[in-house]
């Protein structure tokens, strides 16, 4: 059976959820072979094996942390040469897309980014994408070379599928371009204890209607009652009420949770671009004409300062 390369996104050996989703999709096309790089690479093997990786190719070097993107491209290219896979799958993070694009160019392949589904096809894997602020869905495939496809978080279920997960050392020679862009400093983001925005099953977002940084406590309380991640519209981010890392939309994160709760958000096209594929959408807005209501499964026309705290209390009391 053909092998499919899966690029592993991990933090010091802890595999992030989108990679496990990629393994689910990879198994539809062939046997997943994972590539894990950098500090803790070998520690990823057990989790990857549990979710279907037949082999785990690993390599660690200081270059992965000290220089931007290119060392990882060099390694993935080495893995591509060693494995001759039927496809290469990469998580659709900002960095993932850059790695994938440069790899595609080097190996003479086409690239598809931000797939939301993937199936095997007669002429290679067929990717579903959501375009124009999620108002259209397209089916595409790579017609030249080994398909390189990046896949958005929450595009497939994480499935247990035990496989060998044999760890093998990947041999990598860095190109002379690998050290072009030096990372001279790194400030890790402080953990909020909440789920990662793009990976969360529930996202609770606030917009301009929240009216101030201190009021975001209401949004956070609702999020915590549901075990959700917190999102924000660009208006709230630009006002300095919430960090840009939490922005949902075209120039922020694209999320596709089971449940999206928007409070004090009007539903501008650029915001919709980042949340329209959510399974269930709920909104609280005092303007009955707000465009967000066109998307909702359930909407409350009202003041969020009344509705949100009441909702939070009710959830807490129901959960006991």
Ligand X SMILES: Cc1cc2nc3c(=O)[nH]c(=O)nc-3n(C[C@H](O)[C@H](O)[C@H](O)COP(=O)(O)OP(=O)(O)OC[C@H]3O[C@@H](n4cnc5c(N)ncnc54)[C@H](O)[C@@H]3O)c2cc1C
3-state SS assignment for residue 159: coil
Q: Which residues make beta-bridge pairs with 90?
A: 150
Q: State which of residues 98, 161, 174, 192 lies at the interface with other proteins (CB under 8 A).
A: 98
DSSP state of 75: H
3 state DSSP class of 310: helix
207 near ligand X (CB under 6 A): yes
Indicate the residue among 63 and 220 with the shorter CB distance to ligand X: 220
Burial class (CB in 10 A: 0-12, 13-18, 19+), 61: middle
Exactly one of 77, 233, 276, 278 binds ligand X (CB under 6 A); which one? Answer: 233
Q: Which residue stretch of 30-38, 48-56, 211-219, 294-302 sits at the interface with other proteins (rule: CB under 8 A)?
A: 294-302
With CB under 6 A as the contact rule, which of the stretches 22-30, 42-50, 130-138, 285-293 interacts with ligand X?
285-293
Report how far residue 18's alpha carbon sits from residue 154's, in angstroms, rounded to the nearest whole number. Answer: 7
State the binding partner of 93 from other proteins, ligand X, none, CB within 5 to 8 A by kind.
other proteins
Interface with other proteins in residues 123-142 (CB under 8 A): 126, 130-142
CA triple 112-25-16, angle to 5 deg: 90
Q: Is 21 helix (H, G, I), strand (E, B) or coil?
A: helix
Query: From CA 45, how far away is CA 55, in angstroms rounded?
Result: 8
Closest distance of CB 78 from other proteins, Å:
16
The yes or no reply on residue 231 touching ligand X (CB under 6 A) is no
Residue 2 lies near other proteins (rule: CB under 8 A): no
Residue ranges for the known binding site for FAD are 208, 233-234, 247-251, 264-271, 285
């Amino acid at each position: 059976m053909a092998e499919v390369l899966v690029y592993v996104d991990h933090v010091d050996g802890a595999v992030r959820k989108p990679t496990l989703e990629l393994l689910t999709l990879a198994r539809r096309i062939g046997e997943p072979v994972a590539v894990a790089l950098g500090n803790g690479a070998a520690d990823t093997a057990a989790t990857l094996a549990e979710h279907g990786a037949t082999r785990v190719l690993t390599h660690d070097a200081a270059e992965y942390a000290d220089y931007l993107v290119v060392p990882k491209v060099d390694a993935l290219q080495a893995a591509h040469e060693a494995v001759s896979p039927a496809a290469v799958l990469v998580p659709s993070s900002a960095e993932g897309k850059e790695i994938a694009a440069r790899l595609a160019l080097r190996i003479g392949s086409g690239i598809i980014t931000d797939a939301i589904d993937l199936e095997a096809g007669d002429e290679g894997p067929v990717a579903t994408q959501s375009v124009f602020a999620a108002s259209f869905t397209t089916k595409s495939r790579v017609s030249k070379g080994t398909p390189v496809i990046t896949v958005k978080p929450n595009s497939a279920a994480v499935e247990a599928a035990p496989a060998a997960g044999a760890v093998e050392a990947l041999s990598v020679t860095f190109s002379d371009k690998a050290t072009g862009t030096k990372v001279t400093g790194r400030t890790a983001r402080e953990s909020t204890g909440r789920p990662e925005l793009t990976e969360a099953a529930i996202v609770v977002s606030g917009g301009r209607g929240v009216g101030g940084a201190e009021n975001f406590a209401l949004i956070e309380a609702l999020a915590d009652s549901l075990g959700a991640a917190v999102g924000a519209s660009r208006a709230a981010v630009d006002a300095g009420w919430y960090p840009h890392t939490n922005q949902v939309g075209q120039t922020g994160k694209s999320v596709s949770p089971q449940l999206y709760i928007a409070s004090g958000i009007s539903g501008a096209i650029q915001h919709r671009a980042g949340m329209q594929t959510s399974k269930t959408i709920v909104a609280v807005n005092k303007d009955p004409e707000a465009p967000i209501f066109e998307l909702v499964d359930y909407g409350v026309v009202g003041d969020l300062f009344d509705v949100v705290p009441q909702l939070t209390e009710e959830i807490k009391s129901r959960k006991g």
